[in-house]
Each structure stands twice: as C-alpha cells, then as structure tokens.
C-alpha cells in the first residue's frame, strides 16, 4: 500500500519525473535525477541501481519529504 502511494506521489512531483509522464510503475522504470539525489541524501543510493528495492515506511516518508521540498524550490 505504501509503495503504491509512493509511486503515485512520485509521478506528480516534478523533481521525480522531470522528463515527462513515463510512469514509475512501468516495467522499464528508471530513477530520474531529482529522485536519485534524494535517494542519496536519505542514505539509499542502492535504490538508484535497483528501483524495485525494498524500502521501509520511514525511508519512503523521508524520500517524499525530500522530493516535495526540492519541487517547491
């Protein structure tokens, strides 16, 4: 449930999906530069290489906070 919320939220944030509307849930999903920098800042650079990696609810919340903050700049 939390992962679905993350994917839906990420698609709406410009920092996550700066190059257009290709959904994060597609089979060939890739991590966009804005999202990658947030993943590094929360200590999860491994998710850049493996977008399907498991994340805790705390990590997902931190990632959403980071992307929302960067999108508001």
pLDDT at residue number 32 = 76
Provide the residue ranges of all domains of the chain, joining segments of one domain with +. Answer: 2-14+31-71
Question: What is the band of 6 on the pLDDT scale with cuts at 50, 70, 90?
Answer: low
**What's the sign of the alpha-carbon dihedral 14, 20, 26, 28?**
negative
Query: How many other β-carbons are positioned within 10 Å of the β-carbon of residue 49?
Result: 10
10 CB neighbour count, 10 Å cutoff: 23
For the question of whether the overall pTM of this predicted structure is more than 0.85, the answer is: no
């Amino acid at each position: 449930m939390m992962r679905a919320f993350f994917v839906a939220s990420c698609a709406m944030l410009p920092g996550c999906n700066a190059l257009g509307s290709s959904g994060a849930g597609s089979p060939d999903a890739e991590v966009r530069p804005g999202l990658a920098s947030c993943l590094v800042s929360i200590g999860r650079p491994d998710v850049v290489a493996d977008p399907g990696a498991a994340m805790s609810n705390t990590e997902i919340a931190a990632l959403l906070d980071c992307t929302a903050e960067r999108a508001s700049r």
